[in-house]
Chains A and B, each alone.
Chain A
Amino acid sequence: MKRAMFFLDQKDMPTHWYNIQADLPEPLPPVLHPGTGQPVTPDDLAPLFPMECIMQEVSTERWIEIPEEVQDIYRTWRPTVLHRAYRLEKALDTPAKIFYKYEGTNQAGSHKPNSATAQCYYNMKEGIKRIVTETGAGQWGSALSMSGAFFDVEIKVYMVRISYDQKPYRRIAMEVWGAKCIPSPSTETQAGRDMLERWPDCPGSLGLAISEAVEEALSRDDTHYSLGSVLNHVLLHQTIIGEETRKQMEMADAYPDIIVGNIGGGSNYAGQFLPWIRDKISGEKPDLRIICVEPESCPTVTRGLYAYDFGDAVGMTPLLKMHTLGHGFIPPPVHAGGLRYHGMAPIICHLRELGLVEAVATVQLPTFEAGIQFARTEGIISGPEPCHNIRVAIDEALKCKESGEAKTILIAHSGHGHFDLAAYDRYLSGELVNYAYPEEDVKKALADLPKIPT
């Protein structure tokens, strides 16, 4: 019998998150304040986040224990299954062995609750009664709402009004979990009221929803804000994915030659590959390839420079060292909205700069083509983001077909696309287009990077 699923017993679920900051050959560069050029301190973040999360942000401790209460919640869906994609391998007629770790079996449908649960717990322990956040399509809002219900923390989600009106199922899910989900702009914050005064029918925007959430969090002592990607502590919470996978790959008597994942805020893929990259850093597995996949239309890591850049055109925001295309870069649209940041998790940028991870870019149509092939062989309708890494995994498997090598490929799969069927519909009806940002324009944008204040 060919074993296609590898189950880890709940008693073997990892009890610690892995902190890559302990093993980095060079420490992460600090976030700098634009005015002073000095590093931002943990105290600067305290108005929004619990101190435990802030300390995790800067910790260099290798293993951080997962609180027992968080483990108890994790056990309502974890460990997630590691799959062997026999049917995809057969369709590709490749000697490659393809595995995928699928986070879509979570109650909220993605990897997001791995951090939402931890963040709710730490806030609860600090006496915080309420957490406020924003959501666009509703994935992070759903995860936080579910986690809030588990820890009896009140969750309030500012959802962009146009999504609120168009995606009632996400809103309803949040409300079922007990959260308060209100459309942004709202009358509950100054930012919202100001906008409604100028434009009563305003459909909202993500920027405004964030402003409302942060304004509310800062206005009450019992309230914090929460973020579901980018920050170091969010990536840390996701490392349970990779720690589980290490054990499951051992059960499969396999070790990956290539690990593929999509990068946006970076949290799911980092959660998978960070626990493996220590083998590469230590020299035990120097040939391990870690491939970060991003859209060709927004080549942040594949073509961007690693430099200090302001977050806005006038240079008022703090300087952060990350891969960037500079102020002048106008990223074009792709369906995987989460992949469109011009800068992503600083940890991923740093590892790229150190030459420990590769980055490749894919164009839109072939990614959906890969998503369709994956659905028709493995059955899973993937979110638009994981379709990018499925594309690259398929390409690598086809290279194996040419070379005759039986490489082991591991896909980090962040979740299902059941709320993204309209994107598939547009692909199937031929409405999607390829787009690649011209090299000349990228060079022009990079020329505007600022000098670091001394």
Chain B
Amino acid sequence: MIEQYDDKIIRCPRVGGDVNFKFCRSENNMFPCGWIIGCWHKRMDINKFLEDHYSNEELDRIFALPRPKVESLVNLIEQAKQRKKEKS
């Protein structure tokens, strides 16, 4: 079951504090964090967990690289322009 490891605790370097596994498997818009393998591979068979609970398509999406901030911002601006265009 997907909740089996939910209570395990680890320090998350991104948020700078302790988090449980439930956070790690759902912080990416309800999907696992892209860093989950690196964080958990020494504590459990994380690859098996992922294979058991996610499709290959989902895994491809999960492990797409996090965007560098600058690229994300320009992208968000483009999206905002698009929204304005649609409104007008």
Measured CA separation A230–B77 after assembly (Å):
17
Q: Are A343 and B13 in contact (CB under 8 A)?
A: no
Task: Give chain A residues whose Cβ lies under 8 Å from the Cβ of B60.
Answer: 313
Measured CA separation A231–B77 after assembly (Å):
15
Task: Give chain A residues whose Cβ lies under 8 Å from the Cβ of B23.
Answer: 162, 203
Task: Give chain A residues whose Cβ lies under 8 Å from the Cβ of B73.
Answer: 45, 48, 214, 225, 227
Q: Are A230 and B65 in contact (CB under 8 A)?
A: no
Task: Give chain B residues whose Cβ lies under 8 Å from the Cβ of A45.
Answer: 73-74, 77
Measured CA separation A341–B72 after assembly (Å):
13
Measured CA separation A340–B27 after assembly (Å):
17
Q: Shortest Cβ distance from A416 into chain B, in angstroms?
A: 14
Task: Give chain B residues whose Cβ lies under 8 Å from the Cβ of A322.
Answer: 68
Given known pairs A47-B80, A313-B60, A314-B64, the reply for A207 and B28 (CB within 8 Å) is: yes
Given known pairs A40-B74, A314-B64, the reply for A337 and B30 (CB within 8 Å) is: no
Q: Shortest Cβ distance from A64 into chain B, in angstroms?
A: 20
Q: Are B42 and A230 in contact (CB under 8 A)?
A: no
Enumerate A124-171 residues with CB–CB distance to B below 8 Å: 136-138, 160, 162-163, 166-167
Stretch at the interface among A115-123, A254-262, A328-336, A393-401: A328-336
Q: Are A199 and B30 in contact (CB under 8 A)?
A: yes
Q: Shortest Cβ distance from A262 into chain B, in angstroms?
A: 14
| Nearest-neighbor residue (CB-CB) of A345 within chain B | B70
Stretch at the interface among A68-76, A97-105, A353-361, A418-426: A418-426
Measured CA separation A292–B76 after assembly (Å):
30
Task: Give chain A residues whose Cβ lies under 8 Å from the Cβ of B66.
Answer: 207, 342
Q: Are B65 and A311 in contact (CB under 8 A)?
A: yes
Q: Are B14 and A313 in contact (CB under 8 A)?
A: no
B85 within 8 A of A: no
Number of residues on chain B facing chain A (CB within 8 A): 43
Task: Give chain B residues whose Cβ lies under 8 Å from the Cβ of A214.
Answer: 73, 76, 80
Residue of B28, B42, B60, B77 with most partner-chain A CB within 10 A: B77
Q: Shortest Cβ distance from B66 into chain A, in angstroms?
A: 7
Q: Are A44 and B77 in contact (CB under 8 A)?
A: yes
Residue of B26, B28, B61, B76 with most partner-chain A CB within 10 A: B76
Number of residues on chain A facing chain B (CB within 8 A): 70
Partner of B80, one of A199, A218, A229, A265: A218
Q: Shortest Cβ distance from B3 into chain A, in angstroms?
A: 14
Interface SS of chain A: loop
0 or 1 for each of A424-435: is its CB under 8 Å from B? (1 = yes): 001000000101
A320 within 8 A of B: yes
Task: Give chain A residues whose Cβ lies under 8 Å from the Cβ of B37.
Answer: 330, 332
Q: Shortest Cβ distance from B46 into chain A, in angstroms?
A: 11
B7 within 8 A of A: no
Task: Give chain A residues whose Cβ lies under 8 Å from the Cβ of B78.
Answer: 33, 44, 318
Q: Are B13 and A334 in contact (CB under 8 A)?
A: yes
Enumerate A216-233 residues with CB–CB distance to B below 8 Å: 218, 225, 227, 229-231
A205 within 8 A of B: yes
Task: Give chain B residues whose Cβ lies under 8 Å from the Cβ of A78.
Answer: none
Task: Give chain B residues whose Cβ lies under 8 Å from the Cβ of A312.
Answer: 64-65, 67
Measured CA separation A45–B65 after assembly (Å):
23
A406 within 8 A of B: no
Q: Shortest Cβ distance from B44 into chain A, in angstroms?
A: 14
Q: Shortest Cβ distance from B12 into chain A, in angstroms?
A: 8
B53 within 8 A of A: no
Q: Are A318 and B71 in contact (CB under 8 A)?
A: yes
Measured CA separation A310–B24 after assembly (Å):
25
Q: Are B69 and A229 in contact (CB under 8 A)?
A: yes
Measured CA separation A318–B17 after assembly (Å):
32
Given known pairs A218-B80, A313-B65, A330-B35, the reply for A44 and B74 (CB within 8 Å) is: yes
Measured CA separation A230–B30 after assembly (Å):
28
Q: Are B76 and A327 in contact (CB under 8 A)?
A: no
Task: Give chain B residues whose Cβ lies under 8 Å from the Cβ of A210.
Answer: 69, 72, 76
B18 within 8 A of A: yes
Q: Shortest Cβ distance from B81 into chain A, in angstroms?
A: 8
List the 10 closest A-B pairs by CB distance, nearest first: A332-B38, A137-B16, A313-B64, A311-B71, A311-B67, A337-B13, A166-B17, A205-B27, A343-B68, A218-B80
Chain A interface residues (CB < 8 Å from chain B): 31, 33, 40, 44-45, 47-48, 136-138, 160, 162-163, 166-167, 195, 198-199, 203-208, 210-211, 214, 218, 225, 227, 229-231, 265, 297, 311-314, 316-318, 320, 322, 325-337, 340-344, 346, 419-420, 422-423, 426, 433, 435
- Extra 7 A-B pairs, beta carbons < 8 Å, given A44-B77, A47-B80, A313-B64: A210-B72, A318-B74, A318-B78, A333-B38, A340-B35, A341-B69, A342-B68
Could you pull out 8 A-B pairs where Cβ atoms are within 8 angstroms? Answer: A45-B77, A136-B15, A162-B15, A163-B17, A211-B76, A317-B74, A344-B68, A419-B16
